[in-house]
């Protein structure tokens, strides 16, 4: 009997006392949608199924029943607001919806005031921030991620500009702003924004007017940010205008995928109008629960509409609310409401505002929603600190004639891929360009060839190409007098390149400059940024400050700054024979002659009579032998192996030095030699003399900014004739200009020459606006001209001319430097060192064999100095084949040295040395 009462009491305790009160029998939630739309119809069925599943599971809400109330806003924002107000009077704990961002911005203020959580899976405006709207929660990936995916697709295919067609409401405008930001991160941009009337008010005529304008524009990449009704109408009109053919790209947001998933079959008219388009679909991983729900769908919907991912999100949103309510009740919270004190001033009005009340458990329920951690039909459901669904991802779909095909995925984790995102989450993120992959789509016009993404507009507009109106060096570019024709090297290169493009380019040349002096090229390039020119061609140097504002093509000619200065002929002098070698080379060569002579003398001294004799004679022998090797006329024969080894190497070195000297001296005495006091840019930097430059050239700013040469020293010169006059009269010490101009100048002026080296490396290119696709195509064409030889033929036509034969193109010193021969000297020095080292080892070994350490009669070991003197005497001794005789003489010398040392040590007056018959030395001291 006690057990019978124990069970009810336990239920009462845990169900009432521990939970702070009885569970409510009914829990009201509301939904605000336009149920005449695809997403509205799908969401209605999915939410009802979810409520039924929650109520059929007693483990979720226990004895409480979840009641869903639906409100049809019918495309009206005002109707949606009225529905929200009605829910606030019905003690509603949460609201699902609204369907679009316009209503979400307004109703969120009500939710904030009355603390009722507002959950939406279709109002995905990225500006609905958690700070401004804390009670608004997006249960599907918001449009920021969808725009990121579109931007990555645009970048992946190499397009740089898109045209955005968007519905002019909060959702469209804010999505457009997010797309612009994401494109800018990838150096892409929206070139034009076409606004559609709010859905569903757009008419065919209005859309026709908009698309006709777009057809005349350059970009062919269209991004359609709208809703299903307006979107399908846009595609229909575009198809009738031929804008769904070759060359066009259409990328639609997820509204198109909902049409494909939920409307089956599509009408033939609709299918034809959307062929080749790309669209996104929220990615939901495959699971048993998802497959089971899909199999239930036909029963739930009665076959009236197909399931799309937003139906899955609708189902999961109901379960998110149910789990959050369960957690609230389990935490001891209550479902209670109280009057809002702020509404007291409005009591008695027809609006009945006093009926609205604050949900006391709203904040706790909101926290539970944000802490959701469950597995839903859409996969794992969790929110990150920014209150966004974790791991947002999209399927990328290509619309075909009979349906659609998935060509890849995009995820916020790893970007574009052809494998499902969930298989990549366990790996480190890799967003490198080589790792971004998609399958090849079929583009509009039923082609597999990727559209270029842009064309020249067919509204009659021509490219306005600025060209410098030069007055000098007209071989590069010039206008034919009295006509609009232009000619020159740069013009021929441009025409040859543009003829290689696979499309026609209408253009016209516009000369820039007054015709009296060369124009300023920096100003000419800047006019591209002000839309005065669409491009600039000519002898325009690619320099840093210009690349910051425009894009250049591949250089079609190399050009760098060089220095031109007067040169004079060097006359022969009495000391001309010294000029082939530099002073350092003369010193090192003389030193090695002495070193080699000394080394050979050391190696030959013991066994070669020609290297012996009095000291004065031996010094003369060393000098004569070393110098005579210069002419291979040395009379002394070498008999030692090491001596011959050193001599062979030295004679080879002498041969090379002698040949080089002869060749250089011959050149100096027979060829005209040119000299200039200016040796290069370093000379100009340290001097104070004026420097000339070409009018309009970048050389003026470069010399001033890079080398700190004051502008007061820089003199502007307008023509080659002015170059020659200024250099002749000494008005300028040198002229700094680009090599291409200088080579033309020097072809007619033999009194001047290039001195020093080229001190900049640059080239000439054609300038276009930033991110212009024409710059890329022209670069490809220039590379083709270079590879097939046409670029060189154009160069030879305009710039090859007869040059002065009396000198080379560039002045260079013809003296021989030590750096050209240091390898030979190094080999010779190593050979001398090795020979001396081996000779020393050999001498020490022979000496130790013949004169081991001995102890004198008094028992004292010979001193080191005595042994060293003995060794030196041994080395100096002539080897004549009689070792005993040599040894006897050395022994006598050694004994004599030892006797003197003993006398000094013992205080004796002398020491007598006696030679025994066997050659040994005996010594004794005189008695005191």
Domain that residue 604 falls in: 576-670
Q: What is the pTM of this model?
A: 0.68
Distance CA 237, CA 243 (A): 9
Distance of CA 674 to the CA centre of its chain: 46
Entry field: residues in the chain: 928
Cβ atoms 488, 798 nearer than 8 A? yes
362 and 412 fall within a common domain: no
Whether residue 9 has pLDDT greater than 50: no
Query: Starting from the edge strand earliest in sequence, which strands make up the sheet with 714-717, in order?
Result: 714-717, 691-694, 734-738, 561-566, 752-755, 810-811
Find the mean pLDDT for residues 634-641: 69
Distance CA 101, CA 73 (A): 13
Distance CA 709, CA 692 (A): 12
The per-residue pLDDT for 14 is 40
Q: Report the share of the chain in percent with pLDDT over 90.
A: 47
483 and 359 fall within a common domain: no
Find the mean pLDDT for residues 575-594: 77
Residue 530 lies in a domain: yes
Q: Which residue has the tokens 């050149």?
A: 667
Distance of CA 918 to the CA centre of its chain: 92
618 and 649 fall within a common domain: yes
Question: In this predicted model, what pLDDT tens digit does every residue of 412-471 receive, in sequence order?
Answer: 999 999 999 999 998 898 888 888 999 999 999 999 999 989 887 766 678 899 999 999
Q: What angle do CA 672, 677, 679 make, to 5 degrees?
A: 90
Q: Which of 613, 636, 670 is the last residue of a domain?
A: 670
728 and 703 fall within a common domain: yes
Q: With bands split at pLDDT 50, 70 and 90, how would you rate the model's confidence at 129?
A: confident
Find the mean pLDDT for residues 672-696: 81
Q: Which of 388, 423, 443 is the last residue of a domain?
A: 388
Q: With bands split at pLDDT 50, 70 and 90, how would you rate the model's confidence at 20?
A: very low
Point out which residues pair with 564 in neighbouring strands: 735, 754
Which residues of 823-863 form beta strands (DSSP E)?
Answer: none
The per-residue pLDDT for 445 is 92
Task: Find which of 305-314, 346-355, 514-523, 742-751 is predicted with most confidence, using mean pLDDT.
Answer: 305-314
Q: What is the dihedral of CA 36, 38, 43, 49, to 10 degrees?
A: 90
Whether residue 472 has pLDDT greater than 80: yes
373 and 488 fall within a common domain: no
Q: What is residue 798's three-state secondary structure?
A: helix
Write the CA distances from 900 to 903, 915, 916, 921, integer angstroms. 5, 17, 20, 15
Find the mean pLDDT for residues 908-926: 41
Which residues of 288-354 form beta strands (DSSP E)?
Answer: 337-339
Burial 54-73 (b: 16+ CB within 10 A, else e): bbeeeebbeebebebebbbb
44 and 91 fall within a common domain: yes
User: 820-828 contacts: CB < 8 A, separation 24 or more?
Assistant: 820/660, 821/585, 821/656, 821/657, 821/660, 824/652, 824/653, 824/656, 824/657, 825/588, 825/592, 825/653, 827/649, 827/653, 828/592, 828/596, 828/649, 828/650, 828/653
Q: By mean pLDDT, which of 56-60, 339-343, 822-826, 904-908 is the weakest? A: 904-908
Distance of CA 126 to the CA centre of its chain: 31
The per-residue pLDDT for 566 is 85
271 and 406 fall within a common domain: yes
Write the CA distances from 892 to 433, 614, 669, 746, 888, integer angstroms. 91, 22, 64, 83, 6
Q: What angle do CA 861, 867, 868 make, to 5 degrees?
A: 150
696 and 722 fall within a common domain: yes
Q: For position 54, which CATH number holds?
A: 3.40.50.2300
Domain count, the chain: 5
More confident residue, 220 or 347: 220
Residue 79 lies in a domain: yes
Residue 816 lies in a domain: no
The half-sphere exposure of 179 on its side-chain side, counting CA atoms within 13 A, is 30
Residue 377 lies in a domain: yes
More confident residue, 644 or 291: 291
505 and 551 fall within a common domain: yes
Find the mean pLDDT for residues 159-188: 93
119 and 251 fall within a common domain: no
Residue 270 lies in a domain: yes
Q: Are strands 561-566 and 734-738 parallel, antiparallel or unpaired?
A: antiparallel
Q: For position 683, which CATH number holds?
A: 3.40.190.10
Average pLDDT, whole number, for the chain?
83
Residue 889 lies in a domain: no
**Residue 284: left (phi > 0), alpha (psi -120 to 50), or beta?**
beta
Question: In this predicted model, what pLDDT tens digit does every residue of 801-837 receive, in sequence order?
Answer: 655 544 444 444 456 777 777 787 788 888 888 888 8
Write the CA distances from 571 to 672, 674, 814, integer angstroms. 9, 9, 15
Which residues of 157-231 form beta strands (DSSP E)?
Answer: 161-167, 189-196, 221-225
Q: With bands split at pLDDT 50, 70 and 90, how would you rate the model's confidence at 635?
A: low
126 and 150 fall within a common domain: no
Cβ atoms 135, 116 nearer than 8 A? yes
Alpha-helical segments (H) within 424-520: 489-498
Paired tokens of 645: 């080894």
Q: Which of 388, 419, 445 is the last residue of a domain?
A: 388
The per-residue pLDDT for 69 is 93
Cβ atoms 198, 168 nearer than 8 A? yes
Cβ atoms 16, 22 nearer than 8 A? yes
More confident residue, 613 or 6: 613
Cβ atoms 105, 118 nearer than 8 A? no
Point out which residues pair with 408 in neighbouring strands: 396
Q: What is the dihedral of CA 610, 613, 614, 617, to 10 degrees?
A: -10
Cβ atoms 146, 756 nearer than 8 A? no
Question: In this predicted model, what pLDDT tens digit does every residue of 654-666 receive, in sequence order?
Answer: 888 777 777 777 7
Q: Which helix (H) or strand (E) holds 742?
A: helix 739-746
Cβ atoms 220, 451 nearer than 8 A? yes
Residue 62 lies in a domain: yes
421 and 541 fall within a common domain: no
Residue 740 lies in a domain: yes
Cβ atoms 311, 43 nearer than 8 A? yes
């Amino acid at each position: 009997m006690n057990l019978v009462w124990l069970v009810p009491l336990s239920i009462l305790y845990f169900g009432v006392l521990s939970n702070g009160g009885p569970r409510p029998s009914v829990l009201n939630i509301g939904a605000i949608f336009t149920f005449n739309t695809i997403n509205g119809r799908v969401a209605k069925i999915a939410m009802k199924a979810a409520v039924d599943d929650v109520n059929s599971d007693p483990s979720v809400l226990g004895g409480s029943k979840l009641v869903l109330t639906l409100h049809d806003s019918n495309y009206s924002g005002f109707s949606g607001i009225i529905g929200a107000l009605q829910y606030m009077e019905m003690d509603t704990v949460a609201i699902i919806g609204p369907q679009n961002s316009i209503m979400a911005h307004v109703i969120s203020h009500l939710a904030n005031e009355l603390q009722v959580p507002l959950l939406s899976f279709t109002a995905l405006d990225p500006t609905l921030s958690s700070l401004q709207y804390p009670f608004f929660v997006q249960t599907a990936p918001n449009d920021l991620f969808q725009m990121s995916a579109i931007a990555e697709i645009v970048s992946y295919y190499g397009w740089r500009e898109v045209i955005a067609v968007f519905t002019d409401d909060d959702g469209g405008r804010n999505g457009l702003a997010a797309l612009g930001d994401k494109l800018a991160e990838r150096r892409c941009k929206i070139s034009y924004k076409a606004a559609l009337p709010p859905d569903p008010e757009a008419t065919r005529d209005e859309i026709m007017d908009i698309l006709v304008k777009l057809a005349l524009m350059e970009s062919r990449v269209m991004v359609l940010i709208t809703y299903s009704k307006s979107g399908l109408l846009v595609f229909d009109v575009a198809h009738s205008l031929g804008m769904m053919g070759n060359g066009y790209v259409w990328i639609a947001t997820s509204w198109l995928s909902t049409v494909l998933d939920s409307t089956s079959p599509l009408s033939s008219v609709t299918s034809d109008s959307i062929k080749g388009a790309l669209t996104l679909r929220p990615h939901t991983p495959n699971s048993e629960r998802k497959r089971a729900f899909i199999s239930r769908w036909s029963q739930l919907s009665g076959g009236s509409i197909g399931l799309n991912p937003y139906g899955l999100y609708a189902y999961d949103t109901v379960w998110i609310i149910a789990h959050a309510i369960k957690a609230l009740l389990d935490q001891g919270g209550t479902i209670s409401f109280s009057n809002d004190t702020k509404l007291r001033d409005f009591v008695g009005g027809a609006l009945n505002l006093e009926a609205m009340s604050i949900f006391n458990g709203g904040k706790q329920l909101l926290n539970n929603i944000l802490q959701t951690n469950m597995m839903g039909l859409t996969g794992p459901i969790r929110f990150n600190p920014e209150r966004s669904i974790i791991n947002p991802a999209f399927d990328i779909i290509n619309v075909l004639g009979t349906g659609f095909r998935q060509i890849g995925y995009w995820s916020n984790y790893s970007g574009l891929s052809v494998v499902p995102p969930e298989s990549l989450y366990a790996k480190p993120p890799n967003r490198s360009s080589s790792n971004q992959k998609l399958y090849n789509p079929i583009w509009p016009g039923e082609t597999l060839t990727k559209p270029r993404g842009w064309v020249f507009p067919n509204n009659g507009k021509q490219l306005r190409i600025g060209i410098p109106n030069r007055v000098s060096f007209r071989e590069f570019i010039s206008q034919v007098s009295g006509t609009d024709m232009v000619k020159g090297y740069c013009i021929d290169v441009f025409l040859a390149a543009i003829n290689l493009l696979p499309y026609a380019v209408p253009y016209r040349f516009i000369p820039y400059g007054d015709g009296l002096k060369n124009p300023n090229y920096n100003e000419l390039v800047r006019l591209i940024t002000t839309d005065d020119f669409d491009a600039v061609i000519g002898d325009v140097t690619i320099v840093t400050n210009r690349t910051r504002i425009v894009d250049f093509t591949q250089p079609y000619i190399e050009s760098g700054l060089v220095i031109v200065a007067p040169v004079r002929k060097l006359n022969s002098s009495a000391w001309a024979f010294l000029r082939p070698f530099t002073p350092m080379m003369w010193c090192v060569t003389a030193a090695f002659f002495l070193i080699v002579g000394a080394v050979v003398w050391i190696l030959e001294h013991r066994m070669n009579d020609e290297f012996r004799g009095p000291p004065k004679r031996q010094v003369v022998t060393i000098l004569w032998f070393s110098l005579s090797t210069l002419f291979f006329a040395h009379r002394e024969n070498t008999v030692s192996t090491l001596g011959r080894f050193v001599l062979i190497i030295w004679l080879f070195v002498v041969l090379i030095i002698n040949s080089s000297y002869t060749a250089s001296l011959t050149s100096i005495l027979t060829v005209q030699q040119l000299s200039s006091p200016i040796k290069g840019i370093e000379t100009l930097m340290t001097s104070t003399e004026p420097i000339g430059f070409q009018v309009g050239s970048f050389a003026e700013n470069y010399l001033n900014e890079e080398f700190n040469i004051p502008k007061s020293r820089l003199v502007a010169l307008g023509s080659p004739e002015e170059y020659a006059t200024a250099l002749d009269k000494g008005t300028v010490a040198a002229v700094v200009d680009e090599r291409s101009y200088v080579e033309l100048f020097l072809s007619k002026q033999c009194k001047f020459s290039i001195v020093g080296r080229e001190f900049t490396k640059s080239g000439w290119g054609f300038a276009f606006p930033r991110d212009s696709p024409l710059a890329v195509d022209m670069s490809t064409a220039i590379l083709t001209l270079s590879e097939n030889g046409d670029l060189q033929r154009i160069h030879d036509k305009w710039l090859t001319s007869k040059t002065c034969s009396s000198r080379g193109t560039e002045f260079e010193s013809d003296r021989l430097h030590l750096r050209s021969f240091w390898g030979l000297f190094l080999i010779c020095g190593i050979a001398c060192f090795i020979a001396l080292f081996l000779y020393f080892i050999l001498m020490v070994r022979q000496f130790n064999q013949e004169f081991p350490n001995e102890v004198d009669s008094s028992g004292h070991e010979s001193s080191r100095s005595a042994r060293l003197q003995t060794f030196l005497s041994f080395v100096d001794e002539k080897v004549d084949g009689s070792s005993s005789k040599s040894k006897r003489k050395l022994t006598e010398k050694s004994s004599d040295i030892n006797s003197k040392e003993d006398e000094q040590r013992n205080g004796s007056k002398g020491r007598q040395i006696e030679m025994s018959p066997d050659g040994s030395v005996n010594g004794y001291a005189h008695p005191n």
